[in-house]
């Protein structure tokens, strides 16, 4: 969804923003999935959660690939200048990010400022938010251990009020936009995923799952809520109501798949097979590099006077393949070794000494 949205916008298709709005909500799905995937093991066994183990696993999971992608994204325009000049065409060297941009991105604090949030790569803003989710998760686990799912439900309802309250905070448009990309506003989406994980575990343990017909109805209801969020809710002019509504729609869609019974055939099973499985494996590296690569590719197409739907198709097929190749390299040589390293215990137990 995110790739389709960016390529549509870069291709200069008439009225692109109008028709691409539903695709832009894909980021809301990411936030819900983040809460769901991170909390699902906790919902199964709350006492097994370890802050130290969680921090080690998450840092090894996202940081190496993220740092590697920063190096790639910074060097990419310079490499393209070399390639362009080698083809006999005029090209100017691109300015490198300043120290503030680099430092804020390395420390995941770039999302706190309008100057840095979209500085190196527009897609990186969600990495700062993801790190905020990681810092908040131990508190969510503690709340669940002490007060149970009822407290999580009340916390989620309270969090839903925050995005709706942003217009009443008398913030500048820039400050309001930055706030919308950070934890206070997006925490509601994360908590929806957390609640979905709890519901999934409890319903499966109780044997209450959805058959094929019930799953179809549930998915249809979720899609109806999503369509409402992107087409009807904006007409109300209630700021951020679309965010709340879209998040609920994606949560309902997630539950329609997660609560499927064994005799149903949920679409989620497709993601464990063939090409879709491979795309899932490289999706993180794909996300990290897709936006700058597709933007430069769109500029190349414009230099050939290719725009509109033809450019969009070329970006999806050719540009997407190029991004996929880089993502595969990133997954193979950066992500996989780091994931394996993160799964190792931080301290190796000493071998027992031989009996005397």
Is residue 355 predicted with pLDDT exceeding 50?
Answer: no
Residue 280 CA: distances (Å) to CA of 285, 323, 324:
10, 14, 11
Average pLDDT over residues 274-287: 79
The answer to whether residue 322 sits within a structural domain is no
Q: For residue 15, tell me if it sits in a domain.
A: no
Q: Return the closest-CA partner of residue 189 out of 25, 57, 46.
A: 25
Q: Give the rounded percent of residues in the chain with a pLDDT score beyond 70.
A: 88
| Residue 99 maps to a domain | yes
Helix 183-205 to helix 173-180 angle (10° resolution) is 20
Is 288 inside a domain boundary? no
**CB of 291 closer than 8 Å to CB of 6:** yes
Q: What pLDDT sits at residue 104?
A: 97
Q: What token pair was written down for 353?
A: 């000494």
Is the backbone of residue 131 left (phi > 0), alpha (psi -120 to 50) or beta?
alpha
Mean pLDDT value across the chain: 86
**Residue 187 and residue 136 in contact, taking contact as beta carbons nearer than 8 Å:** yes
Burial per residue of 296-324, b for 16 or more beta-carbon CB atoms within 10 angstroms, e otherwise: bbbebbeeeebeeeebbebbbeebbebbb
Tokens representing residue 219 in the block: 């998915």
Condensed to tens digits (0 to 9), the pLDDT of residues 288-321 reads: 999 999 999 998 898 888 888 888 899 999 999 9
Helix orientation angle between 125-165 and 241-258, rounded to the nearest 10 degrees: 110
Domain count, the chain: 1
Question: What CA–CA distance (Å, rounded) separates 187 from 159?
Answer: 6
User: For the chain, where are the E strands, in sequence order?
Assistant: none
Here the tokens at position 328 are: 């595969």
User: Considering just the CA atoms, what is the radius of gyration of the chain in Å?
Assistant: 22
Confidence of residue 349 (pLDDT cuts 50, 70, 90): very low
**Is residue 91 in a domain?**
yes
Question: Looking at the predicted structure, is the pLDDT value of residue 16 above 80?
Answer: no
Q: Is there a domain that residue 184 lies in?
A: yes
- 206-258 per-position pLDDT tens digit: 988 888 888 888 889 999 998 888 778 877 888 888 889 999 999 999 999 88
* Integer Cα distance of 269 and 241 in angstroms: 32
DSSP state of 348: P
**Residue 13 within a domain:** no
Query: Residue 15: its pLDDT value, please?
Result: 56
Query: Please, which residues bridge with residue 210 across strands?
Result: 260
Phi, psi of 255 (to 5 degrees): -65, -35
The pTM of the full predicted model, rounded to 2 decimals, is 0.87
The answer to whether residue 105 scores a pLDDT higher than 90 is yes
**Residue 349 domain-assigned (yes or no):** no
**Strand-pair partners of 260:** 210
The pLDDT, as a whole number, for residue 269 is 55
SS3 at position 298? helix
Residues 6+ away with beta carbon under 8 Å from 64 = 334, 335, 337, 338
Give me the domain span that covers residue 170: 25-269
Q: What is the pLDDT of residue 356?
A: 38
> Residue 350 above 70 pLDDT?
no
């Amino acid at each position: 969804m995110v790739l389709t949205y960016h390529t549509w916008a870069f291709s200069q298709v008439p009225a692109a923003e109008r028709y691409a709005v539903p695709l832009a909500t894909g980021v809301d799905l990411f936030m819900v999935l983040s809460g769901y995937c991170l909390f699902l093991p906790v919902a199964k066994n709350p006492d097994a959660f370890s802050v130290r183990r969680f921090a080690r696993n998450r840092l090894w999971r996202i940081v190496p690939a993220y740092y590697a992608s920063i190096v790639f994204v910074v060097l990419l325009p310079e490499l393209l200048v070399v390639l362009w000049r080698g083809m006999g065409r005029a090209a100017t060297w691109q300015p490198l990010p300043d120290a503030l941009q680099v430092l804020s991105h390395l420390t995941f604090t770039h999302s706190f400022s309008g100057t840095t949030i979209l500085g190196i790569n527009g897609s990186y803003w969600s990495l700062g938010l993801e790190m905020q989710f990681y810092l908040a998760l131990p508190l969510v686990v503690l709340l669940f251990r002490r007060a149970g799912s009822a407290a999580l439900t009340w916390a989620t309802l309270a969090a839903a009020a925050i995005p709706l309250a942003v217009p009443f905070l008398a913030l500048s448009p820039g400050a309001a936009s930055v706030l919308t990309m950070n934890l206070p506003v997006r925490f509601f989406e994360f908590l929806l995923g957390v609640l979905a994980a709890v519901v999934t575990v409890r319903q499966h343990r109780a044997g209450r799952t959805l058959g094929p017909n019930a799953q179809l109805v549930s998915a249809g209801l979720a899609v109806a809520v999503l369509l409402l969020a992107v087409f009807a809710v904006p007409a109300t002019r209630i700021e951020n109501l679309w965010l709340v509504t879209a998040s609920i729609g994606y949560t309902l869609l997630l539950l329609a798949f997660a609560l499927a019974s064994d005799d149903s055939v949920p679409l989620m099973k497709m993601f464990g097979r063939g090409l879709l499985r491979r795309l899932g494996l490289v999706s993180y590296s794909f996300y990290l590099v897709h936006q700058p690569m597709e933007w430069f590719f769109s500029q190349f197409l414009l230099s050939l006077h290719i725009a509109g739907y033809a450019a969009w198709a070329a970006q999806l097929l050719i540009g997407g393949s190029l991004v996929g190749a880089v993502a595969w390299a990133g997954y193979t040589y950066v992500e996989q070794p780091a994931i394996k390293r993160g799964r190792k215990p931080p301290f190796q137990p000493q071998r027992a000494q031989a009996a005397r």
